[in-house]
Amino acid sequence: MTTTGAPPPPPSRAIELAVRTVTPVALLVAAFLFFSGHNQPGGGFAAGLVIGAVMGLRMIAGMPFPRNPGLFLAAGAVVVGLTAVAPLLWGDPFFDQVVLEWDVPILGKVKTGSAAVFDLGVVLIVVGLVVAVLDGLGADDLADRVDAGTAR
């Protein structure tokens, strides 16, 4: 990756359109992975990675994406930490979890618990990590390229 030389061409419209189309689908997939993670393959990490991939695609296409990884990381760490120590307040063991089950009309039996909250923290941390690395790995270069492209 060179940082000098002629300005690279602006990102193509086709990519932008594709990313625009893919974004909601990918977020839906992430939500599915997040909720299926309780008993099936998936979970917070996988969901976070899918959301992170969306961020990466938006970066490549020169579209805006959240640029404050510190916020994601901090929020994630707080959620994870609090879920870990919360059971101590009720005298339960460290990292104890509560499992809840409901019978919901259309979805059938829904099983979730405090582990899902922990997973939410994991999602936030993973997204924060991906955004931080995207920033470090060249989002600035691409932003410059977009600026150069629009200026022309």
Partner 1 sequence: MSAALLLAIAGLVGVGVYLVTARSLSRIVLGFSMLGHAAVLSLLGAGGRAAQPPLADRVDDTAANPLPQALSLTAIVISFGLTLFLLALARRQNELTGDDLVEDDLEDRRIADDETGTDDGDAEARPAPSETDAGDRLDDGVPVGRGVTTQEPAAS
Partner 2 sequence: MSNVVALLIVVPIIAAAGGLLARSRALLSDAITLGSLAASAIGSIWLLAEVRANGSVVVRIGGWDPELGIVLVADLFASLILMVALATILVVEIFAIAQRRTVWGADPEVAGPILLVLSSGVSLAFLTGDLFTLFVAFEMILVCSYVLLTHQGHRGQINAGMTYVVMNLMASTLFLLGVAFVYAATGTVNMALLAERIPELDSGTRLGIGLWFLVVFGTKAAAFPLFSWLPDSYPTAPTTITAVFAGLLTKIGVYAIVRFNTLTGMEELGPVILVVAGATMLIGVSGALAQDDIKRILSFHTVSQIGYMLMGVGLFTVAGVAGTVIFLVHQIPVKTVLFLVGGLIEDAEDTSALDEIGGLARRRPIIALLFALPALSLAGLPPFSGFVAKLALVDAGVAASSIPIVVVSLLASILTLLSMTKIWLNVFWGDEPEPTPDSPDGPPAQDAYAGAGRRRYVMEATTGIAVAGTLAVALFAGPLWDMSDRAADDLVNPDRYISEVLS
Encoding tokens for residue 15?
Answer: 């990519």
**Which residues have CB under 8 Å from 104's CB, separation 6+?**
110
Please report whether residue 133 would count as binding partner 1 according to CB under 8 A: yes
What residues form DSSP beta bridges with 103?
109
Instruction: Work out which of 6, 13, 90, 94 binds partner 2, going by CB under 8 A.
Output: 94
The conformational region for residue 108 under phi > 0 = left, psi -120 to 50 = alpha, else beta, is: left
CB of 44 to partner 2, least distance (A): 16
138 touches which of partner 2, partner 1, none (CB within 5 to 8 A by kind)? partner 1
HSE-up of residue 67 (Cα within 13 Å, Cβ side): 10
HSE-up of residue 72 (Cα within 13 Å, Cβ side): 21
Applying CB under 8 A, which part among 25-33, 65-73, 107-115, 125-133 lies near partner 1?
Answer: 125-133
Q: Which is nearer to partner 2, 94 or 151 (CB)?
A: 94
The residues that touch partner 2, with contacts defined as CB under 8 A, are 70-71, 73-78, 80-82, 84-85, 88, 92-97
The residues that touch partner 1, with contacts defined as CB under 8 A, are 1, 3, 45, 49, 129-130, 133, 136-138
